[in-house]
C-alpha cells in the first residue's frame, strides 16, 4: 500500500499482525518519531551548517532516508535485508530523490566511512550498534530504543545486561528508561573520547528517542561520563525520591520521610537535562503543516520546552491515591503548588504526569484545599 508522510509517498508492505513478520518493516505508529526526525534534521542543519551526510542505517522501507533526501541531505540508506534494500531503492526513485542504498550491516558500514549524522532505529536495544555509531559519526547520533521493559527495570536482568546499569521499576518508569538509556549511550561514547549533549529526547508510548550532539574531545567525554551521571533513590513505601551525582552511589540509609528501609537505587544514569530548550523551540518551529502528526509534534515540543529539569516526575493520580483523596484538576493542582512557592510543570510522559521542586508533603499541603 502507499503511504504519504510529509513530502514523500512510499510503497510499504501490508504488516501482518503484531509480531515480527518476513515483510519489510513499517510501523505507522512511528510517524510522530519520523516527523520529529525531519524537524530535528532541519533545525540541526541551521545550527551546524557543515552537516551534509545522513545515514539511515536501518532503513527498512527507506522512508526516513527519503524524507531526509527531500530536505536536501546527502543520504545513504542501509539495511541487512535485501528486500528492504530493493524497496528503499524503488521508494527513492519514485520520489525522484538521489541517495545511495546499500545492503550492509551498520556495524561494518560505519567502520568503513564517517558520516555527519547517523540514525539507528533497530528492533529493541540500540546498544549493539552504539560503538560503531559514536566512533564514526562527526556530529549527531539519532537513536530509538523500543526495549522499554529492560530499560525501566521491568525486565531486570536484560536491563542490567544491555545497559551496564541497574534500572529499577518505579512509578516514573518511562523517565527511568530514558535516563538509563542516555547514561549507557554517554558511557559508550566516552570510550571513543566523544562527549554527548542530548539536544532533543522524548519517551513516547513504547519507545525512547534521543538526538545526541557529539563533541570529539576527551574533556567533553569526561563531563558526560562522570559529571552528568549519578543515581536515583526511590522509597518503595512513600514515593520519596532523591539523587546523587557521580559514579559512586550514596544512598540514604532509610527514607528521610517515612523511615522505611525499602529504598531502591538505580544507576548509573543520566542526571543532566535531556533537551536543549532553545533547540527544542527551533524543532517546534520546523514542524510543518504537511506532517500528519503536526499538532501532536508541536504540543510535545512545547511540553518539553516547559518541563523542569528535575530528575524524576510524579503521577498526580498515583499521589492522590496514596493520600486517599480524589484527584483535583491538573491545572488547579499545579497552580496551588506554584502558589506555595515551588516550581511545577506538566511532564511529557502523558496523563497526569508532572515535575516539581516541591516535596511530597509540600505538595499535599498545597493541594489540601482543592477538591476533586
Ligand X SMILES: C[S@@+](CC[C@H](N)C(=O)[O-])C[C@H]1O[C@@H](n2cnc3c(N)ncnc32)[C@H](O)[C@@H]1O
Binding residues for S-adenosyl-L-methionine: 34, 64, 79, 105
CB 293 within 8 A of CB 35: yes
Options 78, 182, 199, 232; binder of ligand X; rule CB under 6 A: 78
Are the C-beta atoms of residues 42 and 306 closer than 8 Å to each other? Answer: no
CB of 368 to ligand X, least distance (A): 48
At 94 the three-state DSSP class reads helix
Selected from 5, 121, 276, 307, the binder of ligand X by CB under 6 A is 121
Contact criterion met (CB below 8 Å) for 186 and 224: yes
Q: Which segments of 12-131 are extended strands (E)? A: 53-56, 74-79, 100-103, 115-120
Closer residue to ligand X (CB): 84 or 117: 84
Whether 165 and 180 have beta carbons less than 8 Å apart is answered as yes
Applying CB under 6 A, does 80 fall inside the site for ligand X?
A: yes
* Under rule CB under 6 A, residue 105 binds ligand X: yes
Minimum distance from CB of 237 to Zn ion (Å)? 5
For residue 18, count CB atoms less than 10 angstroms from its CB and return exposed for 0-12, middle for 13-18, buried for 19 or more: exposed
Partner whose footprint covers residue 218, from Zn ion, ligand X, none (CB < 5 to 8 Å by kind): none
Q: Which of 106, 199, 271, 336 binds ligand X (CB under 6 A)?
A: 106
- Looking up cell 508532572 gives 354
Q: State whether residue 8 is helix, strand or coil.
A: strand
Stretch that binds ligand X, among 46-54, 75-83, 176-184, 185-193 (CB under 6 A): 75-83
With a CB cutoff of 8 Å and minimum separation 6, the contacts of 252 are 233, 242, 263
Residue list 22-61, contact with ligand X (CB under 6 A): 25-26, 30, 34, 57-61
Residues annotated in the binding site, as ranges? 34, 64, 79, 105, 235, 238, 255, 258
Rounded to the nearest whole angstrom, what is the least distance from the CB of residue 253 to Zn ion in the complex? 12
**Residues contributing to the site for ligand X (CB under 6 A):** 25-26, 30, 34, 57-61, 63-64, 78-81, 84, 105-107, 121-123
Amino acid at each position: 500500500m502507499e503511504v504519504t508522510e510529509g513530502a514523500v509517498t512510499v510503497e510499504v508492505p501490508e504488516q501482518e499482525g503484531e509480531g515480527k513478520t518476513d515483510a519489510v518493516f513499517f510501523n505507522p505508529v512511528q510517524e510522530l518519531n519520523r516527523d520529529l526526525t525531519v524537524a530535528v534534521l532541519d533545525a540541526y542543519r541551521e545550527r551546524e551548517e557543515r552537516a551534509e551526510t545522513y545515514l539511515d542505517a536501518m532503513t527498512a522501507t527507506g522512508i526516513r532516508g527519503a524524507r531526509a533526501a527531500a530536505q536536501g541531505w546527502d543520504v545513504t540508506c542501509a539495511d541487512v535485508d535485501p528486500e528492504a534494500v530493493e524497496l528503499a531503492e524503488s521508494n527513492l526513485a519514485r520520489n525522484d530523490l538521489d541517495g545511495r542504498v546499500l545492503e550492509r550491516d551498520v556495524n561494518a558500514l560505519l567502520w568503513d566511512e564517517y558520516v555527519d549524522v547517523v540514525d539507528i532505529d533497530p528492533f529493541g536495544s540500540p546498544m549493539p550498534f552504539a560503538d560503531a555509531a559514536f566512533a564514526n559519526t562527526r556530529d549527531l547520533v539519532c537513536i530509538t530504543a523500543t526495549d522499554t521493559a529492560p530499560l525501566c527495570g521491568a525486565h531486570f536482568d536484560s536491563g542490567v545486561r544491555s545497559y551496564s546499569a541497574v534500572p529499577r521499576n518505579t512509578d516514573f518508569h518511562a523517565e527511568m528508561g530514558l535516563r538509563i538509556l542516555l547514561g549507557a549511550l554517554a558511557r559508550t561514547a566516552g570510550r571513543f573520547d566523544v562527549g554527548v549533549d542530548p539536544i532533543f529526547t522524548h519517551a513516547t508510548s513504547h519507545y525512547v528517542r534521543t538526538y545526541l550532539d557529539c563533541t570529539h574531545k576527551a574533556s567533553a567525554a569526561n563531563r558526560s561520563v562522570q559529571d552528568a551521571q549519578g543515581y536515583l533513590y526511590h522509597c518503595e513505601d512513600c514515593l520519596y525520591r532523591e539523587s546523587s551525582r557521580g559514579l559512586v552511589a550514596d544512598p540514604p540509609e532509610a527514607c528521610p520521610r517515612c523511615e522505611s528501609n525499602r529504598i531502591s537505587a538505580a544507576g548509573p544514569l543520566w542526571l543532566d537535562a535531556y533537551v536543549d530548550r532553545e533547540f527544542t523551540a527551533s524543532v517546534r518551529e520546523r514542524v510543518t503543516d504537511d506532517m500528519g502528526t503536526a499538532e501532536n509534534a508541536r504540543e510535545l515540543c512545547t511540553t518539553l520546552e516547559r518541563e523542569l529539569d528535575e530528575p524524576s516526575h510524579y503521577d498526580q493520580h498515583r499521589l492522590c491515591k496514596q493520600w486517599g483523596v480524589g484527584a483535583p484538576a491538573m491545572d488547579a493542582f499545579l497552580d496551588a503548588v506554584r502558589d506555595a512557592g515551588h516550581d511545577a510543570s506538566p511532564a511529557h510522559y502523558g496523563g497526569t504526569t508532572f515535575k516539581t521542586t516541591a516535596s511530597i508533603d509540600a505538595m499535599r499541603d498545597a493541594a489540601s484545599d482543592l477538591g476533586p
